[in-house]
Amino acid sequence: MQPKVIATDAALQLIEQLKAKYGPLMFHQSGGCCDGSSPMCYPQGEFMIGDSDVLLGEIGGCPFYMHAAQYEYWKHTQLIIDVVPGRGGMFSLEGSEGIRFLTRSKVLDS
């Protein structure tokens, strides 16, 4: 079975930098609203995970969640977390690093 979420080498490198700065981290795939639809990185425990959040897996040793309603649309895809130049979401830890996390995807084989 293929993992539901993976990260590029560049993303893993940024995760390690952020872990060195902030300690253990967690991710939640934003479903829109303030910061668009992007992976949001928080210190572990700073984002309230609820009964309607799905744990997709881990990237860089950090749990990665998505809301269950959003997961219904994405359940047949693999999320590929990457980084690109630009300013991250205002609530996401990489916001001041000059690069931001980005979600790419591919359809999973059945």
> pLDDT tens digit string along 2-18?
999 999 999 999 999 99
* The pair of three-digit structure tokens given for residue 106, joined into one six-digit string: 């591919």
- Specify the long-range contacts of residues 70-74, CB closer than 8 Å, at least 24 apart: 70/29, 70/31, 74/105
Residues 36-89: pLDDT tens digits? Answer: 578 999 999 999 999 999 999 999 999 999 999 999 988 999 999 999 998 766
Q: Locate tokens 């950090």: which residue?
A: 62
Residue 101 has pLDDT above 70, yes or no: yes
What is the pLDDT, as a whole number, of residue 33?
55
If one counts the domains in the chain, the total is: 1
The predicted structure's pLDDT at residue 1: 82
What's the Cα-to-Cα distance from 101 to each of 41, 52, 80, 87, 109, rounded to whole Å? 8, 23, 10, 9, 25
Side-by-side strand order, sheet with 39-43: 39-43, 25-29, 62-67, 53-59
Quick check: 59 and 12 in contact, CB under 8 A?
yes
54 within 8 A of 84, measured Cβ to Cβ: no
Global pTM reads: 0.90
Please state, in angstroms and rounded to a whole number, the distance separating the CA atoms of residues 93 and 90.
Answer: 8
Query: 32 pLDDT exceeds 70?
Result: no
Range of the domain at 69: 5-107
Res. 98 pLDDT band, cuts 50 70 90: confident
Question: What CATH number is attached to the domain comprising 49?
Answer: 2.60.300
